[in-house]
Amino acid sequence: MKFAAVLKLAALSALVIVGQAQASLQTWRLEATANDLATNLDWIAPDFVAPGSKLVFDYDIDENALNALGIFPGAVKSVTFHGEKSTASGYVLSSSLVLTAINIGSWTPRVNDEVSFLSLSATNSTFTGNLHDTLLNLASNVSAGNAMLRLNFGDHTVFATPTSLTAVTAVPESSTGALGLLGVPALLAVAKRKKQNA
């Protein structure tokens, strides 16, 4: 096999790998309306979670996360809300107890607020071992009004009613983006060599 053909094959393989890796990291947007404080009445909730406030959360979820008995540990890579993106240590749950949830309880300290835990859950759901299907099932429950969102501010809790959960876009990963860029010069080299040989 000629060197140019090998280069071309390597470049095309790199682009395929890039496409697959990018497709696995998906942004899911949750919209909700804050509605209740289940906490000490002496605590004053931040304005952005006052009853009636619209809340928007963007979860970056690795849809290739492994299934460990209905739990997808580490599936949630980051979450963005209230103008701040936080690296997350979150999981998605699809339980035989008919509970589906996205839980995030560990991230770097947030600057804009004091949120320490997020939980989106639905109790009227169907068990599935596939992460994408689990998220679609959770989205269906959100649309049907069968879901609840909980935000913890330390010892204080705010509840919200989720109104929509939708897949927004695939998120490019920096490492795979760099890999894709490696394939471009190889393709250009192959094209130049062919032109010179013609």
pLDDT tens per residue across span 24-36:
899 999 999 999 7
66/129 Cα distance (integer angstroms)? 10
The pLDDT value recorded for residue 178 is: 45
31, 39, 30, 35: which is closest to 50 by C-alpha? Answer: 35
Share of the chain above pLDDT 70, in %: 69
More confident residue, 176 or 71: 71
Which stretches of 63-182 are assigned E, i.e. beta strand? 71-81, 84-95, 99-107, 117-122, 147-153, 156-170
Exposed, middle or buried by CB within 10 Å (0-12, 13-18, 19+), for 183?
Answer: buried
The pTM of the full predicted model, rounded to 2 decimals, is: 0.73
For residue 140, CA distances in Å to 14, 82, 143, 196 come to 36, 25, 5, 57
Per-residue pLDDT of 48-73, as tens digits, reads 999 999 999 999 999 999 888 788 99
User: Residue 197 has what pLDDT?
Assistant: 60
For 132, the enclosing helix (H) or strand (E) is helix 131-143
d(CA 39, CA 156): 5
pLDDT for 83 equals 87
Compute φ and ψ for 193, nearest 5 degrees: -65, -40
The H or E element spanning position 30 is strand 25-37
